[in-house]
Amino acid sequence: MTRPHLPTTTGLRVVVALAQHGTVSAAAQALNLTQSAVSKQLKALEDLVGLALFTRTSRGLAPTEAGVIYIAQARVALGALETAAARVAGLRSSRPALRLHVLPILGDRWFMPRFSRFVEAHPDIEVQFSTFAASDTIAEADVVFRFGDGQWPGWQADYFLGREVLLVGSPQFIARGGGIAAPEDAWRFPILEHRQTPLHWSDFATSHGIGEVRAERLVRLGYYSLVIRAAIAGQGLALVPRSLILDELASGQLVNPAGLGYMSRNCYWLTTPLDRPRSADLATFCEWALAEARETESASRPAPPAQTPRAASQRS
Amino acid sequence: MTRPHLPTTTGLRVVVALAQHGTVSAAAQALNLTQSAVSKQLKALEDLVGLALFTRTSRGLAPTEAGVIYIAQARVALGALETAAARVAGLRSSRPALRLHVLPILGDRWFMPRFSRFVEAHPDIEVQFSTFAASDTIAEADVVFRFGDGQWPGWQADYFLGREVLLVGSPQFIARGGGIAAPEDAWRFPILEHRQTPLHWSDFATSHGIGEVRAERLVRLGYYSLVIRAAIAGQGLALVPRSLILDELASGQLVNPAGLGYMSRNCYWLTTPLDRPRSADLATFCEWALAEARETESASRPAPPAQTPRAASQRS
DNA sequence: CTACTCCTATTCCATTTTGGACTAATGTTT
DNA sequence: AAACATTAGTCCAAAATGGAATAGGAGTAG
């Protein structure tokens, strides 16, 4: 009705990616677009909406109040489309598609670079991704990657990634702050926290036997990608699963002072529903993913960890 | 991730409109597009999905199983975008936009042709429409048009339209079936029912004191537009609010045999939430809408009805 | 059986939109 | 001040969108 002037789906993906990556260039990379395309899509969408959705700073973009609202709905819309695709894909062939739900950070940092290998090795298995789907849709997935302690009633959980959590920061930033030799030194710096995983810092403290978290400043961010970005930009110290920042560590953008870190109970798990029979395709995929993950974790590690992460699985 | 090949928003609007109107041409009209554009959008979307979303019959289109699934999600997605627009519109100006939620049939048949008049008369009032929004979003609207008996706890309900329900059908179809002189004659024909308003036929029967509904065949359709279309196509008799089919009655596409019909308790209401103060804009709009509706109801009526619909309002 | 009507699919084409490469502009950091 | 981020804007080629017109199919009335 009344020329609805609807946004483009690309526009929606753009704002969501922008919120997640905090910068036009990074979002562009994540979307396989150029910086200029993203910039223009954003402008177009803002013109359509009639309000700025992001405030521009020299370091990147941050959603405005309107942006937060709009982005949330954009995510709902994209989730609906993912759900539609996933459900319909199930109908399409006699061999139903494998439905995966991945967290954004894993999608960007782990799957995107690796998944083509799986497709090459198993061209006959059709895989349907989702990252925005609503929780009721997630329940339909064949594989759900989750973050937590491995306890999800009704789901088998196999350890996937991220048990080894490192204290990291930008090298210049740490040096300027006087360096870090012991765990307590961390409290002299602002610390960065991922909103969905707030336990990391207290776990860090207790695992080093240094009591309370008493950092000078705490910055809470909504996405792991933002935490990593902020750490690189020298805005604070972060606790990040090592496997997510192999590149940054290798290139020296981030350093792990004094090898501080700990083995976290909370990490990424590959979970599969227990109430459905495991198809052969599902088994194939899980095997592949777990093997690749093991390789990721052992690769480019200076020294193997004291305890090797072991696969766990339990029902409840 | 992995080129999501997302659909176009136009594509989504197209499939939703198609489901609602049952025919490419009708959907095109509703969307202000040409038949060819709609046809192509549908094809593009089906190619994308990899499955037919509609089965083509010579009389129009009907959703396939996949179509039903996809369309439902498309509606969710469009609803999210409407919600986004409505919420953000509230932020935009000091004078907040008026948020309306209309039922599809009213949008097509009543608002679309009339609303420009309101805009002309009140160019300074910004109005935000939604037709697909989810129920939690509907709760935020300033005006919700509903179908029912006028009892919605927490909402003031003013009678809007559609109290006068007529028995109608295609003239040739009725003639071929032997004509209709008395209410009971209706049972010799297949009857059409709107899925969301199943009470009409039994109300019709009781209001004429002819006992049970015992038609030879019952066709249940999801949208009023489909009911009207099916009636015109001679697929059965329908009970339709007179105000929705003024054109069809005038042009003779539909006839109302023996003036049969009844005054329904269930009709369209203009409802406004009681828990929020009434803005001046809101009052202006309601006044306009109710006046226009009264005019619609009285216009082109051969004889005024025995009892005039009267505005009602109650709280609970 | 034939003309007529109502539908969809398709072809052609002008127009618009999209997105990439480049350049400009601006602010931060060293 | 220079180097380095970042976003915004211009230009252009390629793709898409959508309208007009056409073709074809399936009922329907006589």
In the prediction, which pLDDT does A48 show? Answer: 92
**How much is the pLDDT for B306?**
41
Pair B113, B70: CB distance under 8 Å: no
Distance from CA of A144 to the nearest CA of B (A): 16
Residue A312: pLDDT over 80: no
Domain A9-75: which topology?
Arc Repressor Mutant, subunit A (1.10.10)
Alpha helix (H) residue ranges in A189-279: 200-207, 224-232, 246-251
| Distance separating alpha carbons of residues A264 and A192, to the nearest angstrom | 17
List, as one string, the DSSP characters of A61-88.
EEE-HHHHHHHHHHHHHHHHHHHHHHHH
Antiparallel, parallel or unpaired: β A98-101 and A238-241:
unpaired
Strands B143-148 and B98-101 turn out to be: parallel
Encoded tokens for A300: 């480019």
Encode pLDDT of A166-191 as tens digits.
Answer: 999 999 899 888 889 999 999 989 99
Closest-CA residue of A relative to B12 is A81
User: DSSP 3-state helix, strand, coil percentages of chain A (rounded to 5)?
Assistant: 45, 20, 35
In whole angstroms, D29 C1' to B251 CA is 20
Average pLDDT for consecutive 10-residue bins of chain B (316 residues)? 73 94 92 92 93 87 93 96 91 85 91 88 91 91 94 96 93 88 90 83 89 83 90 91 90 91 93 94 96 86 44 41
Contacts of B243 (CB under 8 A, 6+ apart): B110, B161, B162, B164, B293, B296, B297
CATH of A164-263, one of 3.10.20.30, 3.40.190.10, 3.40.50.920, 2.40.110.10: 3.40.190.10
Q: What is the mean pLDDT of chain A?
A: 88
Q: Tell me the two tokens of residue B20.
A: 């609602």
Strand D nucleotides within 7 Å of a protein CB: 5-10, 16-22, 25-29
DSSP 8-state symbol, A28: H
d(Cα B134, Cα B125) in Å, to the nearest integer? 24
In the predicted model, is pLDDT for residue A294 greater than 70? yes
Q: Contact at 8 Å (CB) between B75 and B93?
A: no
pLDDT score at B213: 81
CA–CA distance, A201 with A66 (Å, rounded to integer)? 31
- The radius of gyration of chain A from alpha carbons, rounded to an integer in Å, stands at 21
Question: Which residue would you say has higher pLDDT here, A288 or A202?
Answer: A288
* Interchain pair B1, A76: CB under 8 A: no
- pLDDT of residue A311 exceeding 50, the answer is no
Q: Which residues pair with A136 in a beta bridge?
A: none
For chain B, what are the domain ranges?
9-74, 93-162+266-298, 164-263
Residues in chain A, overall count: 316
- In the prediction, which pLDDT does A3 show? 45
Q: Give tens-digit pLDDT for A4-26.
A: 579 999 999 999 999 999 999 99
Of A89, A174, A3, residue with least CA distance to B13: A3
- Rounded-to-integer distance, Cα A248 and Cα A224, Å: 14
Provide the pLDDT for residue A72. Answer: 95
Do B93-162+266-298 and B164-263 come out as alike in CATH topology?
A: yes
d(CA A122, CA A284): 9
Q: Considering CB atoms only, which of B74, B76, B107 is closest to A1?
A: B107
Per-residue pLDDT tens over the stretch A225-279: 999 999 998 889 999 999 999 989 988 899 999 999 999 999 999 999 999 999 9
Enumerate the residues of chain A whose CB falls inside 8 A of the CB of residue B81.
6-7, 73-74, 77
Out of 3.40.220.10, 3.40.50.300, 3.40.190.10, 1.10.10.10, which CATH number does the structure's domain B9-74 have? 1.10.10.10
- Per-residue model confidence (pLDDT) at position A92: 79
Over the stretch A104-116, which tens digit does the pLDDT of each residue have?
999 988 998 899 8
- The pLDDT value given to residue B94: 72
CATH architecture of B93-162+266-298: 3-Layer(aba) Sandwich (3.40)
| CB A169, CB A231: distance < 8 Å | yes
Looking at chain B, how many residues does it have? 316
Mean pLDDT value across residues A65-77: 95
pLDDT (tens digit, 9 = 90+) per residue, A84-143?
Answer: 999 998 887 778 889 999 999 999 889 988 998 998 899 999 899 899 998 889 999 999
Nearest CA to A112 out of A24, A28, A31 is that of A31
